[in-house]
Amino acid sequence: MTNGIPYSDALGNYTPQRFREPSNDQTKTRDLLEQFHPDYMPDSMTTLRVGPNQGDVCHKQLADVLQSDARIEEADLAGANTVETDILVVGGGGAGCTAALTAARNGAKVILATKLRLGDSNTVMAEGGIQTSVEKGDTPQMHYDDTIKGGHHYVDKPLAAQMVMDGPNVIRWLIQQGMQFDVDKYGDLLTRRAGGTSAPRVVYYRDYTGLEMMRVLREALTNTGIEVWDYNPTVELLSNDQGHCAGAVVSSLKNCSYTLVKAKAVILATGGIGRMHLNGFPTSNHFGATGDGLVMAYRMGAKLRDLDSFQYHPSGLAYPQHLAGTLITEGVRSAGAYLLNGHGDRFVDELGPRDHVAAAILRECEEGRGVQVNETTRGVWLDTPGVELRNPGILKSRFPKLLQLGRKCGIDPAQKPLLIFPTLHYQNGGVVIDGNGCSTVRGLYCIGEVCGGIHGKNRLMGNSLLDIISFGRRAGEHAATEVHGRPHSNVSTEHLSELRRQLTLADMPMENQGPMLFPDYAKFETDSDYDGLHKAK
Amino acid sequence: MSETSEQPVNLTINSKSITAPGSLSVIQALWHAGYPRVKSVGCLEGVCGSCRIMVRRADSHELKMELGCQLLVEEGMEVIFLVFPNPTHHTYQLEEIKNSWEVQDKFHQIFPEADHCRHCGGCDKSCPKGIEVERGVELASKGRFGEAGELFVECVMCNFCMTACPELIAPNHVGLFSRRVTAYFHIRPSNLINRLEMLRKGDLQITQ
């Protein structure tokens, strides 16, 4: 791995230039992905042996938790408190907040339980912007076509069509919650291009779109009378006699006890899996992104899809080490930043789809044209000084977060390029849903990154912030209507007995327990503060 | 590329003595030294405001408020993690404000303490993002919400200023209110409205 160009040599050879020749690389996406994308790494995939997706291909690390034993036993719940609500929302990111807000405004009693605090999520870090077709030369059809193409045609078409048609109304709704967007002197929304799109379509607020969205949604939610349970990770769903979802088991990090929440509908908005660090990659994800919702939904019998497809964002910071994995928004490339290898050459269309660009970066590094810091750290340049040279002042006016990151690195992005390397960013697949966010299990809704289908096997920039609001609002409204007047049902953990039976029949190891809740380096399982909540064994 | 950053430094975090490479953040150093830490960890990118810490450096008596995922460890540093405070007592809904002429009046009903600022500077000093918090509160008090909101662009709602304020103004919520009313009443993009009209009339369809 030490065959790259040493960092100091590469930096010494670098000078900012107004223009550099585009890459004439014609490698087909398919070939590039097969050779260099982590999804195609030999031995990283396996076949699921139990559950609704038995026989499907799945990443090994994800399969281990999907086919793990439950964290809780019947006995753990014996003395547990029981609480009733119309709707339980699990997860306090953008999708969860939107669903909770909408359900409450439609008359439902809502509890929102979140593993950490309200707003601790990937939403707050998704700074690039939201896709929606508002420009004259753009249409929802073009947005749809780009989404399908970007997802390599594995997209659930009706979901994508509905989402892009929702786009303009999503922006209007966000403005009505008090979210700001960058506008021109006439007050029109400014747009920028996203990788893999045919028109400028990403609307944004500086490079703080997700932060602006999250603080506004949180403020709106806390003023709506919704009960928020922070530091309350959900560890299991509850089923009723018909096998429908009828609530959840929520644990409290504050008093180390379990609560049974009886709910007429549960909306899972638990996000993705970045903190599983698939294939040993760093991640841009929030600390809590450990795939809990996938595991709980799978045990309830919900069908999942595309479990072999993950997004590695091209521009994760590679150096310095303590910030490795930190995301640099694609907006910087939208603004015209080149990617340069250790020789100072462009090697890919910087605004290609994310999987293509990430694979191209990995190729440069594999083939010795990367920049090598030490044994384990390597990458390519993100040519920020070039952008500044072409548009003086743009970094300060459009990318304050990037400059803040530069200060932490001790690197001024206006003067020196940043070293980047792909970072595990997004779970493309997930729970199968319909247009209202309903999973294949009655009473169980799933929204946001925990779902699959909307983005196929590769998501475009800005389509995630769109999907969380679009589907969050639909699920919240649909669930509130559905639960109206319906009684609570008896709850049990019967589906866990079935899980254990299946695991035993398949001769699967039972040592592994899930959901993960926290990455192992947080040492949750050995932290005496949480003695009551440790795994049953 | 300083080589010294890999040198181990000694510090205390929550009164535990810790040795860790100087290239690590406070949270990473704690993990590196084998201590668990679950609460107060969030985005690890400095935008969620979860990892609130109070810091005293070796050469200073001054206490500084920082974010634990952002601050690199230094020799002789003393660090205490702070719990996240309870939410503010101020409540409001934007829909209650009938029109933009009434915003200033409503603001003073919702945030009556905003006028009581003693100019003690506690909020400015406690802000890990270097926001001119006190000036923001003053501008909002005068009804200059657009300007006030601009000062809070980088606010992550860590609530340090709220904790620091002796008058219980909740300056970060004042800042967010200023930003929200600006969007709610004044952002009316014609390109968006035109697109919404086309959708309403059914002029735009998708062929799957």
Q: What is the pLDDT of residue A537?
A: 56
Q: Which of B191, B203, B205 to mutate to test the interface with A (most CBs of A within 10 A)?
A: B191
Instruction: Give A323 to chain B, closest Cα distance, Å.
Output: 8
Q: What is the mean pLDDT of residues A57-63?
A: 97
Q: Are A218 and A303 found together in one domain? A: yes
Instruction: Give B44 to chain A, closest Cα distance, Å.
Output: 7
The pTM assigned to this predicted structure is 0.96
Look at residues A424, A458, A474 and tell me which one is the last residue of a structural domain. A424
Q: Are B123 and B101 found together in one domain? A: yes
Q: Checking DSSP bridges between strand A57-59 and strand A45-47, what pairing results, if any?
A: antiparallel
**A-B C-beta contacts closer than 8 Å:** 176
Of all residues in chain B, the one with the smallest CA distance to A317 is B45
CATH code of the domain covering residue A380: 3.90.700.10
What residues in B contact A188, CB-CB < 8 Å?
189-192
Q: Which of A120, A175, A526 to mutate to test the interface with B (most CBs of B within 10 A)?
A: A175
Q: Are B107 and B176 found together in one domain? A: yes
Q: Are A116 and A218 found together in one domain? A: yes
Q: What is the pLDDT of residue A339?
A: 98
What residues in A contact B94, CB-CB < 8 Å?
176-178, 220
| Separation between Cα atoms, residue A438 and residue A478, nearest integer Å | 9
Residue at token pair 């980088």? B154
Q: Are A463 and A343 found together in one domain? A: no
Range of the domain at B144: 94-186
Q: How confident is the model at residue A2 (pLDDT cuts 50, 70, 90)?
A: low
| Separation between Cα atoms, residue A60 and residue A57, nearest integer Å | 9
Q: How far is C-alpha A149 from the geometric centre of its chain's CA atoms? A: 20
List the 232-251 stretch of A: residues with Cβ below 8 A of B: none
| Separation between Cα atoms, residue A504 and residue A354, nearest integer Å | 40
| Separation between Cα atoms, residue B31 and residue B33, nearest integer Å | 5
Range of the domain at A381: 5-36+317-424
Q: What is the pLDDT of residue A402?
A: 92
User: Would you call B130 an interface residue with chain A, using a CB distance cutoff of 8 Å?
Assistant: no
Q: Are B124 and B161 found together in one domain? A: yes
- Helices A157-177 and B171-186, axial angle in degrees (round to 10): 110
- Transcribe A37-73 into DSSP letters: -GGG-TTSEEE--SSTTTT-EEEHHHHHHHTSEES--
| Separation between Cα atoms, residue A201 and residue A462, nearest integer Å | 9
What are the pLDDT digits (tens) for A463-503? Answer: 999 999 999 999 999 999 999 999 999 999 999 999 999 99
Q: What is the pLDDT of residue A346?
A: 97
pLDDT over threshold 60, residue A376:
yes
What are the pLDDT digits (tens) for A382-439? Answer: 999 999 999 999 999 989 889 988 988 889 999 999 999 999 999 999 999 999 999 9
Q: What is the mean pLDDT of residues A135-140?
A: 96
Q: Is residue A508 one of the residues assigned to a domain?
A: no
A392 φψ region: left (φ > 0), alpha (ψ -120 to 50), beta (else) = beta
pLDDT over threshold 90, residue A79:
no
- Transcribe B7-55 into DSSP letters: SEEEEEETTEEEEEETTSBHHHHHHHTT----TT---SSSSS---EEEE
Of all residues in chain A, the one with the smallest CA distance to B197 is A168
How many secondary structure helices (H) and strands (E) does chain A include? 15, 21
Q: What is the pLDDT of residue B2?
A: 41
- Residue A14: what are its φ and ψ, rounded to 5°? -85, 130
Q: Is residue B197 one of the residues assigned to a domain?
A: no
Q: Tell me the CA distances in angstroms from B35 to A223, A283, A293, B16, B80, one per residue in order.
A: 37, 22, 27, 9, 14
Q: Is residue B177 one of the residues assigned to a domain?
A: yes
Instruction: Give B91 to chain A, closest Cα distance, Å.
Output: 6
Longest dimension (CA), chain A: 71
Look over chain A and give the mean of its residue pLDDT values, rounded to a whole number: 95
Q: What is the pLDDT of residue A320?
A: 86
Q: Is residue A332 one of the residues assigned to a domain?
A: yes
Q: Are B26 and B73 found together in one domain? A: yes
What are the pLDDT digits (tens) for A182-237? Answer: 999 999 999 999 988 999 999 999 989 999 999 999 999 999 989 999 999 999 99
Q: Is residue B207 one of the residues assigned to a domain?
A: no
List the 49-68 stretch of B: residues with Cβ below 8 A of A: 50
Counted domains in chain B? 2
Contact, B139 vs B149, CB < 8 A? Answer: no
What are the pLDDT digits (tens) for B13-72? Answer: 999 999 999 888 999 999 999 999 999 999 998 899 999 999 999 999 999 999 999 898
What are the pLDDT digits (tens) for A21-50? Answer: 999 999 999 999 999 999 999 899 999 999
CATH code of the domain covering residue A283: 3.50.50.60
pLDDT over threshold 90, residue A130:
yes
Q: What is the pLDDT of residue B4?
A: 43
| Separation between Cα atoms, residue A7 and residue A1, nearest integer Å | 14
B11 residue type, one letter = L
What residues in B contact A124, CB-CB < 8 Å?
43, 47-48
User: Taking the CB of residue A3, how many other CB atoms lie within 10 A of it?
Assistant: 12
Counted domains in chain A? 2
* Strand, helix or coil for residue A7: helix
User: Would you call A139 an interface residue with chain B, using a CB distance cutoff of 8 Å?
Assistant: yes
Q: What is the pLDDT of residue B3?
A: 39
Q: Are B101 and B174 found together in one domain? A: yes
Q: Are A368 and A289 found together in one domain? A: no
Q: Is residue A537 one of the residues assigned to a domain?
A: no
CB neighbours of A423 closer than 8 A, spacing ≥ 6?
A281, A282, A283, A284, A312, A313, A315, A316, A317, A324, A325, A326, A327
Q: What is the mean pLDDT of residues A307-318?
A: 96
Residue ranges in chain B whose pLDDT is less than 50: 1-4
Q: Is residue A41 one of the residues assigned to a domain?
A: no
User: Would you call A6 an interface residue with chain B, using a CB distance cutoff of 8 Å?
Assistant: no
Here the ipTM equals 0.96
